């Protein structure tokens, strides 16, 4: 009999401060080893709801649903708390009751706020950089007696940290995160009961510019984008038997400049120890009055996204003295976060001495490679006091993308043992794992994971180090499926989509979303429709819906999806994109010149049109899910019409494509654009030829990379995909690994073989998009693929190949854990062990059961293959004979004699 994990609410991490009065509930099933092969399916469930001061409400619901079931009781009010537990009845048994779990609403109405934002009486510039605002400190002393429950509701115009009686409130970093502040401003809810004292209390808050007022964007960027003043808005509510006491930010608070004299996301922080006081507990320092600001016009929202936190600490692996005599720490891993420094060794330095830490991702010819950082200094400075009042220091309001840190002014002997790196990112639940018998493929997967961690910091960004770190829509559009396997992205990405929708629908009326969300590019990027990037409006809500089974994503985004397809896409008379528009298209095709990444082999308009068909089909399906039958019929007909137009425009009767490229053909195969089985077969054959002619090197950019291995698999040639995966020469997925990469690079060759950084001015070493190949590792190599939305049914259909002798993946679905583990044993058997969660079913297909194409026309598993199984552990063994089609040969070329590497077998990892 399965047991139940603690129920969860909506896509919220904890249930505390939730912004939904009727939060939907989900429960996961945990199978013990004794549950093997028990095919457990839910038939109904019991819910008990205990609201404050009332008796327990009991509900029995006949339903097989265990994910996002409706709130059974009347809606909760602001601040109202309820405890819930659940028990599931199944076809074989009834589970035990889950543990009780609490849900508590945040402040649902603007009128719940008595606080107003406060700032200093006058703007305080940083002594370090005139244009930057110096971080501010605020404090308020208040008295409470006989408290029982206490909550802090807080947000910042900037990024903040709060302290109650000297203790840090919570562990959120860069709070309240980055949203489209003009439309949506997150507030956070903390249980501060344990920090309150009977009697006098001190609430202290520090605020820095963050994304609100700091410099953002490239080419110099912009400052104070969201407003001229940084500040805080907070209220502590203490509820006891006598009623509720509220202490809110108002004119009675005090303000002082911070000892952190500058804090900028791109440039880093300057902390002056000489100015530090015991400000969180005492009135030390120069305190002045505050100025009250208007309540923000933006909606005050309680995020579903988990907060940013420190998730890991990494020690440096070595100290290097460079050829130029500089001191550098190597952390062994390109990561995103900040240093934490033990201050004890600085006690002997003269007051006013500056210790400087400069961060970078790579070394170039032995020295810190800072050119890719462009106009981001990535430098933190500590000004020493001559006495040490605090034990350790770390910057609080910045983050850097780095593996290497050049250190100036720190006593050398103790350096290695005095500095660590704290990794920070949105603290999502890790859900997916993959490993296999090939160490380089494992490293590729690991690098993708690190690039996801580094770029999921409040919003999904392009890169974490240079003067960008922006929510480029195309990047997450191509990576969403890979990301949603690795971590639970539901809260974070669905919140971000609300920003996208707000900026698309409220800031303009042309239906076109901004190319970065939140939109900060202003004059740098005139608003223009762009396929692949803007297609995020439709494809990302759909991908999230598929991963998490939450139709609410589609419901909330529907207007945004429709606006893009109906009004945003500029069309010619054939319904396809107008062809005179510049597209980013297959951005970063490896053949594009370093300074012209949009000049790809594949026509940008063809890429846009292929995507438009896919987007229209998805919108038709989303309409159907939402019961909008008329719209579903209209978009289905539209998709059919433009697909015919595409075929007439781009595909010859023999199945050749106008853009005769890996990306063009991959799009046509995966988006199912060929008019007949014969042309499809011809297209597949042509793609194979191109891949063999390229000697298995990658020839795809942003648009083609997520698809190429899937396309080869659908063409019935998974060994070609394995061969590309394992290619080592440039451009390939393995080349960066041979160059020592620990993250996914922006360019296939961000680092050139001679150790110099690619001359392109846009060269990051931490961009996740080219890592989107991991979705093929999960879905085809380990063989775990979602069939029915939310993984209610799924396929386990591993495709062994290449030189791999084993692979395994696991994935925590909303129902429970999936496992798939295969190995080819010495006795020539293929062995597969799987775990299927309760209340789900899996379609298991063993390799020898496949025939021809491994996926059908539309990516679905062809009927009649394999067997359906229910929950529990299952074990399969079949005979295995070595692959006859490995390794595939390159196409013999006219100029083979000039290729000193000769047979491409030599370049297989
Ligand atoms: C970003 C990309 C982005 C692109 C679009 C770059 O600077 O880093 O990842 O999608 O611009 O132009």
The ligand 1 atom nearest the CA atom of 702: 10
Cα 472 to ligand 1 centroid, rounded to whole Å: 6
- Superfamily the domain 309-426 falls into: Galactose-binding domain-like (2.60.120.260)
Please give the positions annotated as active site: 468, 746
Which of 376, 474, 599 for a ligand 1 pocket mutation test, highest count of atoms within 8 Å of Cβ?
474
| Tens digit of each residue's pLDDT (9 = 90 or more) over 217-237 | 999 999 999 999 999 999 999
In short, whether 474's Cβ falls inside 6 Å of ligand 1 is: yes
The ligand 1 atom nearest the CA atom of 218: 7
Domain boundaries, the chain: 3-105, 113-305, 309-426, 432-785
| Tens digit of each residue's pLDDT (9 = 90 or more) over 295-315 | 999 999 999 999 999 999 999
Average confidence (pLDDT) over 693-710: 96
Asked whether the beta carbons of 265 and 216 are under 8 A apart, the reply is yes
Cα 505 to ligand 1 centroid, rounded to whole Å: 23
| DSSP 3-state percent helix, strand, coil across the chain (nearest 5) | 25, 30, 45
Average confidence (pLDDT) over 754-760: 94
What is the model's pLDDT at position 495?
A: 98
Q: Give the closest residue (by CA) to ligand 1 atom 12.
A: 584
Q: Which CATH architecture has domain 113-305?
A: Sandwich (2.60)
Cα 140 to ligand 1 centroid, rounded to whole Å: 44
Which of 475, 515, 589, 750 for a ligand 1 pocket mutation test, highest count of atoms within 8 Å of Cβ?
475
Cα 480 to ligand 1 centroid, rounded to whole Å: 16
Which of 461, 587, 748 for a ligand 1 pocket mutation test, highest count of atoms within 8 Å of Cβ?
587
In short, whether 734's Cβ falls inside 6 Å of ligand 1 is: no
Average confidence (pLDDT) over 600-612: 97
The ligand 1 atom nearest the CA atom of 475: 10
- How many angstroms separate the Cα of 816 from the Cα of each of 6, 42, 227? 12, 13, 45
Which segment of 456-460, 583-587, 592-596 scores lowest on mean pLDDT? 592-596
In angstroms, the CA 265 to CA 466 distance is 10
Which segment of 123-127, 322-326, 559-563, 722-726 scores lowest on mean pLDDT? 123-127
Average confidence (pLDDT) over 585-608: 94
The ligand 1 atom nearest the CA atom of 767: 9
Q: What is the dihedral of CA 296, 298, 301, 307, to 10 degrees?
A: -80
Q: Give the closest residue (by CA) to ligand 1 atom 7.
A: 762
What is the model's pLDDT at position 882?
A: 75
For CA atoms 805, 811, 816, 817, give the dihedral sign: positive
Cα 389 to ligand 1 centroid, rounded to whole Å: 44
Cα 539 to ligand 1 centroid, rounded to whole Å: 19
What is the model's pLDDT at position 146?
A: 74
Q: Give the closest residue (by CA) to ligand 1 atom 11.
A: 472
Which segment of 262-276, 459-473, 752-766, 849-863 scores lowest on mean pLDDT? 849-863
Cα 765 to ligand 1 centroid, rounded to whole Å: 13
In angstroms, the CA 819 to CA 796 distance is 9
The ligand 1 atom nearest the CA atom of 597: 12
Write out the two tokens for 331: 């952390």
Q: Is residue 906 pLDDT above 60, yes or no?
A: yes
Q: Give the closest residue (by CA) to ligand 1 atom 2.
A: 462
The alpha carbon of residue 91 and the mean position of all alpha carbons in its chain are separated, in whole angstroms, by 38
Cα 470 to ligand 1 centroid, rounded to whole Å: 9
The ligand 1 atom nearest the CA atom of 762: 7
In short, whether 475's Cβ falls inside 6 Å of ligand 1 is: yes
| Tens digit of each residue's pLDDT (9 = 90 or more) over 655-691 | 999 999 999 999 999 999 999 999 999 999 999 999 9
In short, whether 584's Cβ falls inside 6 Å of ligand 1 is: yes
In angstroms, the CA 233 to CA 296 distance is 10
- Superfamily the domain 3-105 falls into: Immunoglobulins (2.60.40.10)
In short, whether 472's Cβ falls inside 6 Å of ligand 1 is: yes
DSSP secondary structure code for residue 781 in this structure? I
What is the model's pLDDT at position 831?
A: 97
Which of 217, 374, 462, 480 for a ligand 1 pocket mutation test, highest count of atoms within 8 Å of Cβ?
462
Residue identified by tokens 């594949």 is 602
Helix (H) or strand (E) holding 449: helix 439-455
| Tens digit of each residue's pLDDT (9 = 90 or more) over 2-52 | 999 999 999 999 999 999 999 999 999 999 877 665 899 999 999 999 998
In short, whether 468's Cβ falls inside 6 Å of ligand 1 is: yes
Q: Is residue 578 pLDDT above 70, yes or no?
A: yes
The alpha carbon of residue 417 and the mean position of all alpha carbons in its chain are separated, in whole angstroms, by 32
Note whether 113-305 and 309-426 share their fold: yes
Contacts of 811 (CB under 8 A, 6+ apart): 431, 432, 433, 485, 778, 784, 791, 817, 818
Task: Considering only CA atoms, give the Rg of the chain.
Answer: 28
Q: Give the closest residue (by CA) to ligand 1 atom 8.
A: 462
Residue 865's pLDDT band (boundaries 50, 70, 90)?
A: confident
Q: Is residue 143 pLDDT above 90, yes or no?
A: yes
What CATH number labels 432-785? 1.50.10.10
Average confidence (pLDDT) over 172-183: 98
Q: Is residue 124 pLDDT above 90, yes or no?
A: no
The ligand 1 atom nearest the CA atom of 515: 5
Cα 427 to ligand 1 centroid, rounded to whole Å: 25
In angstroms, the CA 887 to CA 678 distance is 27
Cα 452 to ligand 1 centroid, rounded to whole Å: 16
| Tens digit of each residue's pLDDT (9 = 90 or more) over 48-105 | 999 987 889 999 999 999 999 999 999 999 999 999 999 999 998 999 999 999 999 9
Residue 901's pLDDT band (boundaries 50, 70, 90)?
A: low
Percentage of the chain beyond pLDDT 70 is: 97
Q: Is residue 857 pLDDT above 50, yes or no?
A: no
Q: Give the closest residue (by CA) to ligand 1 atom 9.
A: 462
Provide the mean pLDDT of the chain: 94
Residues comprising the chain, all counted: 909
Average confidence (pLDDT) over 494-513: 97
Write out the two tokens for 524: 């740098």
């Amino acid at each position: 009999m399965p047991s139940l994990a603690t129920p969860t609410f909506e896509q919220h991490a904890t249930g505390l401060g939730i912004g939904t009065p009727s939060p939907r509930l989900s429960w996961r099933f945990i199978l013990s080893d004794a549950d093997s092969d028990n095919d457990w399916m839910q038939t109904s469930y019991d819910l008990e709801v205990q609201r404050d001061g009332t008796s327990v409400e009991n509900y029995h619901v006949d339903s097989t649903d265990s994910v996002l079931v409706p709130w059974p009781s009347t809606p909760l009010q602001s601040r109202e708390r309820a405890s819930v537990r659940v028990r599931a009845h199944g076809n074989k048994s009834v589970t035990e009751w889950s543990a009780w779990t609490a849900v508590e609403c945040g402040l649902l109405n603007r009128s719940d706020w008595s606080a107003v934002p406060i700032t200093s009486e006058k703007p305080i510039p940083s002594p370090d950089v005139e244009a930057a605002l110096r971080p501010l400190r605020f404090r308020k002393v208040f008295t409470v007696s006989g408290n029982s429950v206490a909550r802090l509701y807080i947000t910042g115009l900037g990024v903040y940290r709060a302290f109650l009686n000297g203790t840090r409130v919570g562990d959120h970093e860069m709070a309240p995160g980055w949203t489209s502040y003009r439309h949506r401003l997150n507030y956070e809810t903390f249980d501060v009961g344990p920090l309150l004292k009977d009697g006098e209390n001190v609430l202290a808050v520090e605020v820095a510019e963050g994304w609100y007022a700091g410099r953002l964007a490239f080419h110099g960027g912009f400052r104070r984008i969201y407003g001229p003043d940084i500040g805080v808005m907070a209220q502590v509510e203490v509820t006891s038997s006598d009623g509720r006491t509220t202490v809110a930010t108002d004119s009675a608070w005090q303000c002082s400049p911070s000892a952190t004299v500058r804090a900028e996301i791109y440039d880093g922080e300057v902390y002056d120890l000489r100015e530090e006081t015991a400000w969180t507990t005492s009135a030390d320092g120069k305190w002045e009055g505050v100025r009250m600001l208007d309540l923000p016009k933006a909606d005050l929202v309680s995020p579903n996204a988990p907060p940013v936190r420190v998730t890991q600490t990494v020690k440096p692996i070595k100290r290097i003295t460079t050829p130029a005599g500089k001191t550098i720490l190597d952390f062994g891993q390109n990561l995103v976060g900040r240093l934490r420094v033990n201050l004890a060794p600085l006690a002997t330095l003269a007051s006013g001495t500056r210790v400087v830490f400069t961060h970078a991702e790579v070394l170039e010819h032995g020295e810190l490679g800072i050119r890719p950082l462009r106009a981001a200094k990535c430098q933190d400075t500590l000004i020493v006091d001559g006495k040490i009042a605090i034990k350790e220091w770390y910057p609080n309001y910045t983050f850097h993308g780095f593996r290497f840190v050049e250190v100036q002014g720190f006593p050398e002997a103790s350096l290695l043992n005095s500095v660590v790196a704290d990794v920070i990112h949105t603290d999502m639940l890790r859900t997916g794992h993959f490993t296999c018998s090939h160490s380089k493929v494992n490293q590729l997967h690991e690098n993708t994971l690190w690039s996801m961690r580094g770029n999921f910091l409040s919003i999904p960004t392009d890169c974490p180090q240079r003067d960008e770190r922006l929510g480029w829509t195309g990047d997450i559009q191509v990576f969403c499926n890979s990301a949603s396997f690795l971590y639970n992205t539901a809260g974070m990405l669905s919140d971000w989509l609300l920003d996208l929708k707000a900026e698309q629908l409220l800031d303009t009326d042309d239906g076109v979303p901004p190319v970065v969300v939140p939109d900060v590019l202003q004059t740098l990027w005139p608003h223009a429709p762009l396929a692949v990037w803007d297609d995020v409006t439709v494809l990302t809500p759909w991908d999230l819906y598929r991963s998490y089974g939450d139709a609410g994503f589609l419901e909330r985004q529907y207007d945004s999806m429709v606006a893009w397809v109906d009004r945003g896409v500029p069309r010619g008379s054939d319904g396809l994109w107008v062809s005179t528009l510049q597209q980013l298209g297959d951005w970063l095709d490896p053949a594009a010149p370093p300074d012209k990444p949009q000049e790809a082999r594949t026509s940008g308009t063809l890429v846009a049109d292929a995507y438009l068909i896919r987007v229209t089909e998805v919108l038709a399906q989303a309409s159907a899910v939402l019961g909008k039958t008329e719209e579903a019929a209209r978009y289905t007909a539209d998709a059919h019409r433009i697909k015919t137009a595409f075929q007439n425009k781009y595909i010859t009767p023999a199945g050749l494509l106008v853009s005769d490229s890996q990306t063009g053909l991959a799009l046509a195969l995966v988006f199912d654009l060929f008019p007949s089985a014969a042309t499809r077969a011809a297209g597949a054959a042509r793609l194979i030829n191109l891949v063999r002619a390229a000697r298995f090197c990658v020839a795809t950019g942003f648009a083609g990379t997520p698809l190429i291995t899937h396309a080869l698999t659908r063409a019935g040639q998974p060994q070609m995909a394995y061969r590309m995966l394992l290619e080592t020469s440039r451009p390939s997925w393995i080349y960066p690994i041979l160059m020592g990469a620990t993250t996914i690079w922006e360019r296939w060759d961000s680092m050139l073989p001679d150790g110099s950084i690619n001359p392109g001015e846009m060269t990051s070493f931490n961009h996740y998009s080219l890592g989107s190949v991991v979705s093929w590792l999960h879905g085809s190599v380990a063989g775990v693929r979602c069939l029915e939305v939310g993984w209610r049914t799924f396929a386990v259909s591993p495709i062994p190949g290449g030189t791999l002798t084993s692979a395994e993946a696991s994935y925590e679905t909303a129902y429970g854990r999936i496992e798939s583990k295969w190995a080819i044993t010495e006795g020539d058997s293929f062995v597969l062990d799987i775990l299927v969660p309760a209340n789900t079913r899996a379609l298991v297909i063993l390799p020898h059961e496949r025939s021809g194409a491994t996926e059908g026309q539309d990516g679905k598993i062809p009927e009649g293959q394999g067997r359906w199984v229910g929950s529990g552990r299952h074990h399969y063994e079949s005979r295995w004979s070595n692959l006859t089609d490995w390794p595939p040969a390159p196409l013999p070329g006219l100029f083979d004699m000039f290729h000193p590497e000769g047979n491409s077998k030599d370049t297989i990892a």
